A and B are shown apart, each in its own frame.
Chain A
Amino acid sequence: MRRRLLLTAVLVGAILPFLPLLLWSFAERWFYPALFPEGWGLRAWSYLVDTAGRQIIDGLVASFTLALATTALSLLLGIPAGRALGLYDFAGKRLLSLLLLLPIIVPPLAVAMGLHRWFLQLGLAETFFGVVLIHLSVCLPYTIFVLQGVFRDYNPDFEAQARSLGAGPLAVFWRVTLPLTLPGIAVAALFSFLLSWSQYLSTLIIGGGRTLTLPILLFALIDSGDRPVAAAVSLLFVLPALLALLAGAQALGRGNIEGVR
């Protein structure tokens, strides 16, 4: 019941806003003040599949690998950091927490511009890893922020109990820590993935036009002024993100129900 409600909320909140895009992508003629398109057709979609097909697939792959790599790295760094911040008290913890939020407050454009010089010197500019790093500067603070909250409610005695029952450090992580924190980690991963997926400026600045992600293609197409095509690309852009969100929401719904005592 509760899960159905949650899914309905996700569907209404997330899908309804895309209705105009859907209409645009199938529109041949649509002039003001008509409420709906006056002519329908598949021109935009066939353009995407035929003419720009190769480019779009490359863009999808680039966006996907980037988002995946960024998410993996941000979990790898964020789990220990969030755990330390959430569980333990140490000198300078508040200052550290605040500093971690800085990249969220400072506009990403400023960060990317600032880092560009260093990235050039370090040979990281216009490389895949360089783009991953700049995405990480946006994603990691969010990841740590979410995981810090997860670990604040976490009881490490579960791990001590598992060790006493014969679980080594690795088994403790995979069989106890991870399952206990999975809903929170899923949220952090989702955040990180979506943030990386929707990066435009930072990708453009550090990637220098070499890393052609979907948002970069999207902006190019929007620039060309062809609205139906831009709408179709937008939908394509949103689709994987929407799927990730749905998967995440489902995992969360399950977690919440399990969490009820």
Chain B
Amino acid sequence: MGELELRRLTVSYGERPVVAGLDLRVADGEIVALLGPSGAGKSTILKAVAGLLPASVGEIRINHQLVNQLPAERRDAVLLFQKPLLFPFLDVAGNIAFGLKMAGIGGRQAAARIAAIMAITGLDGLARRRVHQLSGGQQQRVALARGLVLAPSILLLDEPLSSLDAELRQQMRELIGRVQRETGTTMLFVTHDQSEAFAVSDRVALLLAGSLRQTGSAEELFYHPADREVARFFGGGNFIDGRIVGGTFAGASLRCPTARSDCATATAVIRPEELRLVESGGDNCLDGVVETVSFEGANSRLQIATAAGTFTLLAVRPEGRVGQPVVLHFPPERLHIFPCPEGGR
């Protein structure tokens, strides 16, 4: 059983608030990814929840109990840092036993719990290993086991995969998912990598410059961003300014039906991989000229200048040359229209 609730949480270093007015709920058994660029304040939030930094304003509740005043060692939340931080003077089992020892649990009960968690995290047979003899992936698994063995109400993970190479990262991702299913541990998982956030979590919370901008499923954030900055974070910066009248968005000779009510300053956005190059103009098309082409492997990125601004298009195969006149098609069902800004009606 573990539930975390943050209400209007503000955390400051000195006078400077780094995270402000944060509201977030993590339900029992849920795994929420806290996603944001480096410096957004993700680690700061985890430290505040863990009790390693004081909250200047707001409430932190674990299982409905207010824990703001509880010191870190008495909070039912365990923080795992980016580095494994295994104690070099203890062996693998000693590291995993550390928290149990602190809780006064020893003997057979501790041994059983340690053995069970080592089996789940794939550490069988390594109990007496010195920690510097372990690989990076094994070290990270010991760190995970050291937290899990305490069966905390909530496990806080601070970019635990970012120091691993690609293949190990994939394995760890799967391991964390499996461990979560097997133990039902509630987790708040911090990452700056959107694909990691999407793959690991039930829900994603996007943090930009210390404030939570959107919370929802991965698809919601990716295809229905709340505003321009959220869209930009996920790599979608194709904006079309226009207006909504009688259930239709119109802007730059593009039109699409929408359920939103009338709005004088509406903005639509389309993901670069949804734009198409077509042979000849028609409805929802703009004429343009290719400005740049860059081959990026899995796809190619084209910048296309039109009368309504420059658009980015991602194509599966390199197509078009610089200077070539093209026709851009905007499939209307792919346009996402932002909520009308304040005072835009």
Chain A residues proximal to chain B, CB less than 8 Å? 155, 157-158, 160-168, 171, 175-176, 179-180, 182, 258-261
> Distance (Å) between the CB of A156 and the closest chain B CB?
11
B side interface size, CB within 8 A:
26
Contact of A166 among B83, B88, B103, B132 (CB under 8 A): B103
Other-chain residue from B79, B89, B103 in contact with A164 (beta carbon distance below 8 A): B79
Show 6 A/B contacts (Cβ-Cβ < 8 Å), sorted by A: A164-B51, A164-B73, A165-B146, A166-B74, A166-B99, A179-B89
Check if A157 sits within 8 Å of B73, measured CB to CB. no
- CB of B210 within 8 A of chain A? no
Min distance, Cβ B130 to any Cβ of chain A, angstroms? 8
Cβ–Cβ contact A157 & B85, under 8 A: yes
Shortest distance in angstroms between A201's beta carbon and chain B's nearest beta carbon? 41
Q: Find B73's partner among A155, A163, A180 (CB 8 Å cutoff).
A: A163
A165 touches B98 (CB 8 A): yes
Q: Please, how many angstroms separate the alpha-carbon atoms of A167 and B98 in the complex?
A: 9
Report whether B88 and A258 are in contact in the complex, using a CB–CB cutoff of 8 Å: yes
Partner of B147, one of A165, A258, A260, A261: A165
A165 touching B132 in the complex, CB below 8 Å, given contacts A180-B89, A258-B89? no
Instruction: Beyond A164-B75, A165-B102, A165-B146, list 15 extra A-B contacts (CB 8 Å).
Output: A155-B85, A157-B83, A157-B85, A161-B81, A163-B71, A164-B73, A164-B78, A165-B147, A165-B150, A166-B103, A167-B102, A168-B71, A168-B102, A179-B89, A180-B88
Q: Is B79's CB under 8 angstroms from A161's CB?
A: yes
Contacts of A157 in B (CB 8 A): 81, 83, 85
The answer, yes or no, to whether B50 is at the interface (CB within 8 Å) is yes
Q: Is B308 an interface residue (CB 8 A)?
A: no
B87 interface residue, CB < 8 Å from A?
A: yes
CA–CA, A179 and B146, complex, Å: 19
* Contact indicator A160/B52 (Cβ below 8 Å): yes
Majority secondary structure of chain A interface residues (helix, strand, loop or mixed): helix
Give the one of A157, A161, A175, A180 with max B CB within 10 A: A161
B85's partner among A161, A166, A167, A179 (CB-CB below 8 A) is A161
Check B98–A162 contact: CB distance below 8 A.
yes
The answer for the CA separation of A261 and B88 in the assembled complex, in Å, is 10
B205 on the interface (CB 8 Å rule)? no
CB neighbours of B99 from chain A (8 A): 165-166
The reply on B114 being an interface residue by CB < 8 A is no
Looking at B74, B77, B85, the one whose CB has the most chain A CB atoms below 10 A away is B85
A9 to B73, CA, bound (A): 45
In the bound complex, residues from chain A placing their C-beta under 8 Å from that of B81 are 157, 160-161
In the assembly, what is the distance between CA of A176 and CA of B88, in Å?
10
| A260-B73 in contact (CB<8A) | no
CB neighbours of B77 from chain A (8 A): 164
Contact digits for B88-102, partner A, Cβ 8 Å, 1 yes 0 no:
110000000011001
Q: Which residues of B contact A166 (CB under 8 A)?
A: 73-74, 99, 102-103, 150
